[in-house]
Structure formats: structure tokens, C-alpha cells
Amino acid sequence: MKTSFGRTLLLLTGLLGFAAAAGAGVGVRFGAWYGPQKINDAKIRAVYGETEAFLPYLEIEIGRGWTIGAGYEFGYDRKGLIGPYEYPTTLRMAGWNALLGYELRLKSVALFGRAGLGLYAYEQTIENPNITDMPVDAWKAAGVFAAGLKYYTTEFFYLGLEARYVWLQPNPHGSKVDLGGWRFAAGAGFAFGSR
């Protein structure tokens, strides 16, 4: 899995600069979500457990209430022991999200919903000399759905809660694994431009 947090921040900053340069009529929101990440597959949970996910994101308002956005979810990097001989193993997962959304603003509170696609990298290693020729290091598209609410403490700053579901079912070596699941997150962000 070839991912870099620095490159991600650079890309998001570039998108923000592009949106800001587009003019005062463009609404821009950027922030981050953080919270527990659930994994549907019981065997994966038993070996690696669950952890938290972090998602910095950028949204651009394309019409009254309508947004397009992109974010990068990361944080799943777990170690465990697998099989009857308890071989050491690792699982890493991270992915890009691109979402179309709608935000209904009711004074200082906003309700939102989003849907789109994610492109997730997942990598599994197992320190077993019998399967060194079967690495798992791939990308898989996933459906992403999210909903939540924001509370605007000022016109430019908000706090929020989000529930996000990732539909991610890769098929490494012909065996389907459900790496999808819920992410429940709290977050904060900044809003500039039209609403």
C-alpha cells in the first residue's frame, strides 16, 4: 500500500486553494472526522480487532445546499496472530472518498447526507514461510454513504457528528472478505463562502 499523509494534505490544500481562487461565489468547507471504525468480517475482527479512523476532507458547494467533496480515510493499521500456529500478521487499510452531498441549513444547525465512491488500499502480511508467494496488496472500489449533523458555533466554524458506512468487499485469492462497516465520528471544520 503506497500512501502518504503528506501527499494527501498537499492535495487537499491545493484543492482548497483552487476553490478559493474560483471566486467569492464558491462555498468551501474543510475539516476532519475522527472516531471508531467497525469491521463487518468476524474473522478479521477476531484477529486484528477494531480501531479508529481519521478523515480530513474538503467540500465545495456547487449549488444551494449541494456539495461535492473528497477526503482521505486512514488509521486502520493493526497487528495480530493468525492460524493455529499463531503467525504474526498485519492488516493496513486506507482510502480516498469522493462524495456528492446535500446540506440543509436550519439557522445554526445543519443536517447532511452524502453518497459516493471510495477507492481503498488494503495490505495484509502473514509471517508464514508457506505463503510468502501470496501477498495481499491491492485496491478496491467501495460504496460510501454518510449522514450527520453540524452545529455552527459561528458563521465560519462548526462541530459535527457523522455516521458513515463503507461497502468494501475485496476478494483476495478467491475468498471474499467484508472489510466494510460503520464509522461513527465527531469532527470540526471551517466554512467559507455561499450557503
Assign 171 a pLDDT band (cuts: 50, 70, 90).
Answer: confident
Assign 177 a pLDDT band (cuts: 50, 70, 90).
Answer: confident
**Residues 13-68 pLDDT 10s:** 555 555 554 554 678 999 999 999 999 999 989 999 889 999 999 999 988 889 99
* pLDDT of res. 176: 83
Closest to 167 (Cα-Cα) out of 126, 125, 117: 117
* pLDDT of res. 69: 93
**Residues 119-170 pLDDT 10s:** 999 998 888 777 665 667 788 999 999 999 999 999 899 999 999 999 999 8
* pLDDT of res. 150: 97
Query: What is the Cα–Cα distance from 127 to 82, expressed in whole angstroms?
Result: 9
* pLDDT of res. 152: 96
pTM score of the predicted model: 0.82
Query: What is the Cα–Cα distance from 185 to 36, expressed in whole angstroms?
Result: 7
Summarize the confidence of residues 105-115 as an average pLDDT. 95
- 40 class by beta-carbon count within 10 Å (0-12 exposed, 13-18 middle, 19+ buried): middle
Summarize the confidence of residues 98-127 as an average pLDDT. 93
Please say whether the beta carbons of 142 and 166 come within 8 A. yes
Please report where in the chains the cell 475522527 appears, as a residue. 34
* pLDDT of res. 57: 95
Assign 6 a pLDDT band (cuts: 50, 70, 90).
Answer: low
* pLDDT of res. 21: 47
Domains, in order of start, for the chain: 5-19+26-192 (2.40.160.20)
E strands of the chain, at which residues? 27-37, 51-63, 66-82, 87-106, 109-126, 136-152, 157-167, 181-192
Cell numbers at 144, concatenated? 460510501
